[in-house]
Structure 1
Amino acid sequence: MRKKLLLPYVLLVILLLVACSGPGGFKADFEYQIAPFEFTNQHNEQVSLDDLKGQVWLSQFVFTNCTSVCPPMMVNMVDIQAKLAEEGVEDYKIISFSVDPEVDTPEVFQEYLDMFDPQDQDKWEMLTGYTMEDISKFALESFKAIVIDDPNSDQVTHGVQFSLVNQQGQIVKMYNGVDDVPYEKIVKDMKALIKAGA
């Protein structure tokens, strides 16, 4: 008799837990809307926010003359892509925004990507073709990230997070892109987000 009385309560708790976890088991940390953009990729093609709608993507801010954080960020992103491939995840993009657009022409950005030899370059959009002022404003307003040019060197101070973006063009999670990168969590979150939007 007691077991019969407990069953409805157990079912109710399970239902509440499922409801709280959101569709597909994905729960956003926040929903920062990305401002509309149209930038140039490594193939000299225009890529806009609208072009990326409907897809999950992982983004970063890097530049080719970077002597500190960018090479490890690129290596870490390539490693994430390899882990996604191992899990059979295919419906996503990797977006890299240059924070040194005067130097990072499409051709230079393509050469930079080649250096890291990612498993599938078709997933990568290396974006440039704007002014330093534009990317500084865009990074701060959309990604809550700083981009500050150093007038005394060829280096740029910038955020080092990887940002996970949903199918509606909203940033829903951020991760450290340099140290202690949570590879398994990123892959798990991307799989859940893709499933939630399917």
Structure 2
Amino acid sequence: MKAYFWRSNTITIPAALTLTVALLLTGCLGNDEEDWNGKNISGLMPELEFDLINSQGDPVSSNDYSGRVRMLFFGFTSCPDVCPTTLQKLNQVTSALSPELQEEVLTLFVSVDPQRDTPERLTEYVDFFGGDIVGLTGEELQLRELAKRYRTTFGYEEPGPDGNYAVSHSSAIYVFDREGNPRLLIRPNLSGEEIRHDLVALIQESS
């Protein structure tokens, strides 16, 4: 079974089959208390946990960003379409929140292209999309372990004559609550309003 979230010039990959099967088996999981727009993944994935470096080159862990609703997205700064489109949408979503609610949400953009995405490049990239986005990266092994933790992966295509190469990665957005528990899987076809609804609901339930 293949379930591609997004088709574009950048090759994107589906979540692992185990997650797909789990979601199919649970059907409308999670709709008993809240009418989520994203897929409820409560109990299907581990809590948010990582040790990486931020866009200033400093070591950070998931604990450094605790206490806020966090959206985790894998990508790379040379991405021609999926990454900028997604980050722009998330910035529009958070910017539409009240100032008080904006402080409760953070986007974690994890670059899976450490060879090209230096801290300086990451800083310039995430700053372009707003102040509530944190750029993260690390050694390839660290990144692969993190991707595997959330049942996805990434890969590098063969470089072209100019040395540039495409990177395959998931287009899914993983949403964690204030305590770092996995809550939602946001698909690219959701509207900004649908994402905003889910974020507000997560903020309010733990306020």
TM class by shorter-chain length?
0.7 to 0.9
Match of 2:76 among 47, 63, 73: 63
1:1-198 to structure 2, matched below 5 A, reads 20-21=32-33, 28-31=40-43, 32-34=45-47, 36-85=49-98, 88-116=101-129, 118=130, 121=131, 123-128=132-137, 130-141=138-149, 143-153=150-160, 154-177=165-188, 180-198=189-207
Change (3 A) 1:47 1:76: same
For residues 188 and 87 of structure 1, the distance between their equivalents in structure 2, rounded to whole angstroms, comes to: 15
Q: Could you tell me the TM-score, scaled by structure 1's length?
A: 0.74
For residues 93 and 47 of structure 1, the distance between their equivalents in structure 2, rounded to whole angstroms, comes to: 15
For residues 30 and 74 of structure 1, the distance between their equivalents in structure 2, rounded to whole angstroms, comes to: 24
For residues 99 and 162 of structure 1, the distance between their equivalents in structure 2, rounded to whole angstroms, comes to: 15
Per-residue CA deviation, residues 51-91 of structure 1 (Å, 9 max, x unaligned), is 22322111211211112322212221221222224784431
Unaligned runs of 5+ in 1: 1-19
SS where residue 33 of structure 1 aligns? Answer: coil
Higher helix share: 1
Give the AA of the match of 2:140.
M
Unaligned runs of 5+ in 2: 1-31
Among all aligned residue pairs of Structure 1 and Structure 2, give the percentage whose two residues are the same amino acid: 25
Determine if contact 1:64/1:104 at 8 Å carries over to the other structure: yes
For residues 89 and 110 of structure 1, the distance between their equivalents in structure 2, rounded to whole angstroms, comes to: 20
Q: Could you tell me the TM-score, scaled by structure 2's length?
A: 0.71
For residues 89 and 155 of structure 1, the distance between their equivalents in structure 2, rounded to whole angstroms, comes to: 33
Comparing 76-85 with 100-109, which one deviates more in the overlay? 76-85
CA-based RMSD: 2.3
Q: Match for residue 3 of structure 1?
A: none
